[in-house]
A and B are shown apart, each in its own frame.
Chain A
C-alpha cells in the first residue's frame, strides 16, 4: 500500500521535475560559495546571503515592476552581505562562525523589516506580493518537447539553466585559471601565497562577492521564481543545507553538485509524498530533507579534508 504509493511517486514525471526545481537553489548557492570556501573562508553565512536575496528579489521586482530588476537587486543584496562578511572576517579577522551566526540572525530580522517597509503602511498591506512580477518559464525549443526529458530538464526558470552551466564553470575557474590557482593557494597556505605577491585579502574579498551574488540569485529564485511569494525566513535553512553539500562534496565542484542533488531529491520526495496525503504526519515529511542532510554529513565527517587555512584570518608576521 505504502510501497505502491511510493512507487507512484517515483514513476511520476513530476517527481523528477521537482528534483531539478528543488536542487537549483542549493546548487547555485553551493557553487557560489565553493570558491570562497576554497580560499579559506567559512561561508556559514550563506543563509544570510540567500535571505537577503529573497527579499531583494521581491522588492526589486515589486517596486520597478520588472522581474529582472528583482534579480539584480537580489544579487546586490547578497553581495552586500558578502562585503560585510569580508570586512569583518577578512579585514578585521574576527571569528568566522560567530560572525556568520550574527549575520544569519541579522538578515532574518532585516529582511522582515525591509518587507514591512516596502509592502505595508501602518500594518495595512499596500501591495500584495502575489502581483509582483515573477520569473518566466523558458522552454527550450525542440529539447523541451522530448517526452520525459523535456519537462524534467528543459522547461524551467532561467536560473535552472544557469545551474547546468555553473558546475563546469566553477570547476574550470578553480582548476584551469590563474585566479583559481590563487584561490586554492590562499585557502591552503596563505603565507606562501603572500610571499609570491598574491593579495590574500583581495582574493578572499572577490570570492566572497562572487558567493554573495550567486547566493542572492538563489534567494531570488526562491522568492520571485519557485514560490512566487514572500514569507519570513522563506529559505528555511537552505543556506545551511547548501553549506553542508560543500562539506559533503569535499570542496570538489562535481561532488558538491551531487550533494545538492541528493538534498534536492530529498526535498522533492518530501513534497510529492506530502501532496499524496497518505497519512504520514506532515511534520515528519518536512523533517525528511534535514535528516538526510544530517546522515550525509555524519557519513563524511572526519573524512572530509578542509582547506588547511579554513576559518583562519590571515595576518602577516610583521609589516
Chain B
C-alpha cells in the first residue's frame, strides 16, 4: 500500500481550548480509516485543518509525499481531498447537477452545460452504485440521498481522499448499510476514506484501521482485526465503561400522559405532527425513535406547551392541558429536558443558582411576598450541585462556562429535583461524552423507578433500545408503530424509521385492565 496523506504533529487551539495536540496520522491509499473519539475529542477540528477550513497552529500536512499548505477548502479540493460535513453544504433550491458543478468552470464557459453534466453524473452514479437523479432539486431529496450528492460532488472533483464527518448520524439503519456498500465500492476503485464516528459497531463493520482520539490527542492507531469494541471503548473514554443501565422490571401504574390524535405544525407552518396517539403510565419509559426531523421535537414542544396543537388533545393525569401555557403545564408536575441546553435549556449568562431555581423562583420557599429568600436559595443550589455531581468551582459561575455534560446536569437538577410525575426528555444525551451520557441515563431510570412517567425522544436508536419499556417510532410526523422495548426487533424498527413498515400499537392491550383515572 502507498501512503496518501500524512499528518505530523498537528496542533490547533481555539481561545481557551486545545482542540488538537501533536496529532500524527497516516492514511494509506484504498483504506477506510476510522477516526474514533467522543464528542469534543477534536475529530472535526482535525479534519477541518486538512480541508482548509481551519489553519493548524503548527505541524505538517504531507500529501503524496510532498508537504502542502492548505489555506482554504479550494486548495484541498484542488489536491484531491473531498469532505462531507456533518451539516451538508448543499444549496436546497438548486438541482443535484447544479450543486455538483457549482464553483467549477464549465466546458462552455461562461455558459452552463448541464445536459453534459447530468450525463456524467449518471455514469458516475452507475459506477459506484450511488442512486441519484441529477435533475432533482436538493430540498426534495431525503437526507440519505443528499449525502450521496455530497459524495458525488467530491467524486466529480476527482477526490482521492474522502472525509466523512459522522455520516451515519442522520441515517436510518437501512441507509447506513447502503452507505457502507458505497464506501466499499469506492475503496475498490482506489479511493481512501476517513470515516469520523463515535460509534464502535460502525468501526468494526466497515473500517480497515482505526485511530482513536481523546482530548485532542491520538491514543492509538490499530488494525480493526487486532482489536474489539471493548478495547476501543476503553481507549476512547480512558476507562472501563458500562453503557447498559440496570433497569428492574416494574408493572406500570396509572396513566399519567395521554395524547390523542395530536397534530401540530413546524416552524415553517408545515404539518410536523400528524394524528399522534399514545399513553404513558407511572414507572414507564416510552422511547420515541426516529431519524432527526420527523416531528419528534415538535411533539415534545406541544406537550410542554411551547407549540400550539392544531388538533387533538394532551391529557395529563386526567386533566386536559392542550394548548395551555408552559407555566400552567409545569404546574401539573411536568419536567421538560429540551434538546438544546444552550438555547432552551439554560440561560447561559445566568449563574448556576439562578438557572437552578429558574422554574420555581417565584414561589415559596424561594421567594416570599416577592422577595428572594437568599439563604434558602443558596442552600438549595449547593445541595443540587452536590446531588447531581455538577463539576463547578462554585454556584455563582455563569452557566456558559460549564462543559456540555455539566450543563446538562444542571438542567437535570432543575427538572428532576422537584420529583415530577411526567418527564419529557428530548435528546437528553446529545453531544455528551460517554461518562455524562451514562449519568443522565441512570438519572432517568431512577425517575422511572421512583414512579414518574417518561417520554424519551432520541435519535440514538441504541439509547431508545436500552432505556425504553415501550418504543414508538416516528416517521414524517406519524407514529409507525409502538412495540415493547424488551427484545425489540432492530430490523423492524429500522424499517419503521424509514417509513416502509407500519405495525400499529402492539402494546395496546398491555395493562389495559387497570385503567385508573385520577385528577
Interface membership of chain A positions 171-189, coded 1 if the CB is closer than 8 angstroms to chain B and 0 otherwise: 0000011111110110011
Query: Nearest CB to that of A316 among chain B residues?
Result: B53
* Least distance between B11 CB and chain A CB atoms (Å): 15
B105 at the interface (CB under 8 A from A): yes
Q: Is the CB of A188 within 8 A of B94?
A: yes
Interface residues in B90-121 by Cβ distance below 8 A to A read 90-94, 98-99, 101-106, 109-112
Given A178-B106, A178-B111, A185-B102, also A196-B92 (CB < 8 A) = no
B72, B92, B103, B112: which contacts A193 (Cβ < 8 A)?
B103
B366 at the interface (CB under 8 A from A): no
CB-defined contacts of A184 to chain B, threshold 8 Å:
91, 93-94
Query: Nearest CB to that of B90 among chain A residues?
Result: A192
Interface membership of chain A positions 184-211, coded 1 if the CB is closer than 8 angstroms to chain B and 0 otherwise: 1100110111111110000000000000
Q: Is the CB of A178 within 8 A of B109?
A: yes
Interface size class of B (residues with CB under 8 A): 20 to 34
A124 at the interface (CB under 8 A from B): no
Tell me the bound Cα distance from A308 to B138 in angstroms. 14
* Least distance between B137 CB and chain A CB atoms (Å): 11
How many cross-chain pairs have Cβ atoms below 8 Å apart between A and B? 72
CB-defined contacts of A4 to chain B, threshold 8 Å:
none
Given A194-B73, A196-B77, also A176-B112 (CB < 8 A) = yes
Tell me the bound Cα distance from A195 to B90 in angstroms. 10
B89, B101, B103, B111: which contacts A191 (Cβ < 8 A)?
B89
Q: Is the CB of B90 within 8 A of A189?
A: yes
Q: Is the CB of A197 within 8 A of B112?
A: no
Interface size class of A (residues with CB under 8 A): 20 to 34
B60 at the interface (CB under 8 A from A): no
Q: Is the CB of A197 within 8 A of B110?
A: no
Interface membership of chain B positions 180-196, coded 1 if the CB is closer than 8 angstroms to chain A and 0 otherwise: 00000000000000000
Tell me the bound Cα distance from A192 to B103 in angstroms. 10
Q: Is the CB of B73 within 8 A of A196?
A: yes
Interface membership of chain A positions 238-270, coded 1 if the CB is closer than 8 angstroms to chain B and 0 otherwise: 000000000000000000000000000000000
A176, A181, A182, A192: which contacts B89 (Cβ < 8 A)?
A192
Tell me the bound Cα distance from A178 to B108 in angstroms. 9
B74 at the interface (CB under 8 A from A): yes
Given A188-B92, A196-B103, also A177-B111 (CB < 8 A) = yes
Q: Is the CB of A197 within 8 A of B89?
A: no
B63 at the interface (CB under 8 A from A): no
Query: Nearest CB to that of A172 among chain B residues?
Result: B111
* Least distance between A18 CB and chain B CB atoms (Å): 38
CB-defined contacts of B88 to chain A, threshold 8 Å:
192
* Least distance between A316 CB and chain B CB atoms (Å): 8
B372 at the interface (CB under 8 A from A): no
Query: Nearest CB to that of A196 among chain B residues?
Result: B103
CB-defined contacts of A193 to chain B, threshold 8 Å:
91, 102-103
Tell me the bound Cα distance from A308 to B90 in angstroms. 13
CB-defined contacts of B92 to chain A, threshold 8 Å:
188-189, 308
B54 at the interface (CB under 8 A from A): yes
CB-defined contacts of A192 to chain B, threshold 8 Å:
88-91, 99, 102
Q: Is the CB of B106 within 8 A of A189?
A: no
B53, B74, B85, B112: which contacts A181 (Cβ < 8 A)?
B112
Given A194-B73, A197-B73, also A182-B110 (CB < 8 A) = no
Interface membership of chain A positions 282-319, coded 1 if the CB is closer than 8 angstroms to chain B and 0 otherwise: 00000000000000000000000000100000000111
* Least distance between B110 CB and chain A CB atoms (Å): 5
Q: Is the CB of A318 within 8 A of B53?
A: yes
Q: Is the CB of A181 within 8 A of B111?
A: no
Given A181-B101, A198-B103, also A188-B109 (CB < 8 A) = no
Tell me the bound Cα distance from A188 to B89 in angstroms. 11
Interface membership of chain B positions 351-367, coded 1 if the CB is closer than 8 angstroms to chain A and 0 otherwise: 00000000000000000
Q: Is the CB of A182 within 8 A of B103?
A: yes
Given A196-B73, A196-B77, A196-B102, also A178-B90 (CB < 8 A) = no
Tell me the bound Cα distance from A176 to B92 in angstroms. 18
Given A192-B102, A198-B103, also A176-B111 (CB < 8 A) = yes
> Closest 7 interchain pairs by CB?
A197-B74, A196-B103, A192-B89, A189-B91, A195-B73, A185-B91, A188-B91
**Known pairs A185-B103, A195-B73 / 19 extra A-B pairs, C-beta < 8 Å:** A177-B111, A178-B112, A181-B101, A184-B91, A184-B94, A185-B98, A188-B91, A188-B93, A188-B94, A189-B90, A189-B92, A191-B89, A192-B91, A192-B99, A193-B103, A196-B73, A196-B153, A197-B77, A318-B54
26 A–B contacts, CB within 8 A, in A order: A176-B111, A178-B106, A178-B109, A180-B112, A181-B94, A181-B102, A181-B112, A182-B103, A184-B91, A185-B91, A185-B94, A185-B98, A188-B91, A188-B92, A188-B93, A189-B89, A191-B89, A192-B90, A192-B99, A193-B102, A193-B103, A195-B53, A195-B73, A196-B73, A196-B77, A318-B54
